[in-house]
Chain A
């Protein structure tokens, strides 16, 4: 049976992890490569780096991080943040990313989704969608790190990028992100019931039960979390054992 994937996400700024960390064996708490290696050893199913470096001049520091991680971790690595063009994708893949996530650039230029999927394969292209609820059972796409609202309906948009060749959708609830109140499972269900590609749930995880609900209620294929892992609240192993105890297929 296909397993539900647990994906720790690291926010990287200027080549350093920005969220607080609490690993016991970590020599350098801000080194994303070291953290990635630990997550890998703990049984993470994939890894995700989100580059939040403000200045594009400093983006190259991420490439070194990607390269070193790919040399040490033999699980899929998704990299996103500031990806604007086919050249950006090419560069990340060349340095060792397995998938590249595109957010604002895909909204600005929907053709990029098809071009990228045709050139690198659907399996390589993740479309990151920042969603915010605007009415009952209605969510709009936000861009530029959630600062700009568009008039695009999330479910329609997800369907469109799936048709254009996106391999999966990384769906973040802006309403829930950072709140630790659980995934927006209505949003998740609205997308997973209509879209035929895998959806990664993101935004809002505070405890183990939230993760379980993302699968049972949101019907997500994969779960992405940052702070619960970074702050050492739960290990990847604990998450997987909890899900397994609740009859969710996971890789242990």
Chain B
């Protein structure tokens, strides 16, 4: 079984890779983890992870500038229904549109838009640090307690068009989507790779997920 972590030059690639390697080494049937941007390797992967930090437009452009990368993701995820996880901007990219530094078209895999967090002065932006989440019944949160803390760092958030696609929320100060899922596609706004034991649980659950 292969798990592909998409390498498009994202700053958190290393952290994501290390965290997945760490959790994977505890599985009885570990995956072969590859860090790649090769369309062939992506299409032969049984699970796909898309990390992402930085601006939405920059991440999107970096992905589209790698020949065949986006097309291979669409084949694997939309056609072959390979389980997919996006992290932070990797999750926001699933939206239709983002308004971060202009208007950018996203993958359009989960309906919704990415907009700036609106907050009074005492709520600093970025929303940075550990915040508690409330989640609905989903494999990704198996073994997690309601109100567990996860590490967030973002200034924009995914406003889902359909509430059923939001599987976890946090508050800052208004409700913010913390995780999304639609069929075989999931994503987290928080960083599981930086969320200590709770984060490792999410990664474990994703590795075990059979949507």
> Which A residues contact B (CB, under 8 angstroms)?
1-5, 40, 45, 70-71, 74-76, 93-96, 98, 118-124, 167-168, 193, 196-199, 219, 221-222, 251
Contact = CB atoms under 8 A, between A and B. Distances in A.
Given A2-B172, A70-B14, A196-B124, A222 B129 contact: yes
Interface string B153-178: 11100000000000000011000000
Contacts of A118: 55, 58
B131 A76 contact: no
A193 to B, nearest CB: 8
Nearest to B151: A76
Interface stretch (B38-46, B102-110, B192-200): B192-200
A120 B171 contact: no
A148 to B, nearest CB: 29
B149 interface: yes
B129 A121 contact: no
A52 B142 CA distance: 43
A221 B11 CA distance: 23
Given A74-B193, A74-B195, A75-B194, A167 B128 contact: yes
A76 B15 CA distance: 9
A1 B200 contact: no
Nearest to A41: B196
A94 B14 contact: yes
Interface string B130-143: 11100000000000
Q: Nearest 10 pairs between A and B by C-beta? A: A121-B54, A123-B153, A3-B130, A121-B53, A251-B130, A198-B124, A251-B149, A2-B131, A120-B11, A76-B194
Contacts of B191: 76
Nearest to B152: A2
A140 to B, nearest CB: 24
A98 B14 CA distance: 9
B18 A96 contact: yes
Contact of A96 (B14, B125, B172): B14
Contacts of B58: 118
> Majority SS of interface residues in chain B?
mixed
Contact of B55 (A94, A121, A251): A121
B126 A93 contact: no
A196 B118 CA distance: 12
A221 B199 CA distance: 22
B130 A123 contact: no
Given A2-B129, A197-B125, A71 B18 contact: yes
B60 interface: no
B35 to A, nearest CB: 12
Contacts of A193: 121
Contact of B128 (A40, A75, A198): A198
Interface residues of B, number: 38
A193 B171 CA distance: 22
B155 to A, nearest CB: 7
Nearest to A70: B18
A5 B130 contact: yes
A237 to B, nearest CB: 14
B22 interface: yes
* Of A4, A168, A219, A222, most B-chain CB atoms within 10 Å: A168
B19 interface: yes
Given A2-B129, A74-B18, A197-B126, 15 more contacts: A1-B131, A3-B130, A45-B129, A74-B200, A75-B151, A94-B14, A121-B89, A122-B155, A123-B126, A123-B153, A124-B53, A167-B126, A168-B126, A221-B124, A221-B128
A139 to B, nearest CB: 20
A1 to B, nearest CB: 7
Interface string B52-63: 011100100000
Contact of A1 (B19, B171, B194): B171
B54 A196 contact: no
Given A93-B11, A98-B15, A3 B131 contact: yes
* Of B54, B124, B127, most A-chain CB atoms within 10 Å: B124
A251 to B, nearest CB: 4
A3 B129 contact: yes
A197 B129 CA distance: 12
A91 to B, nearest CB: 11
Given A2-B131, A121-B54, A121-B55, A198 B126 contact: yes
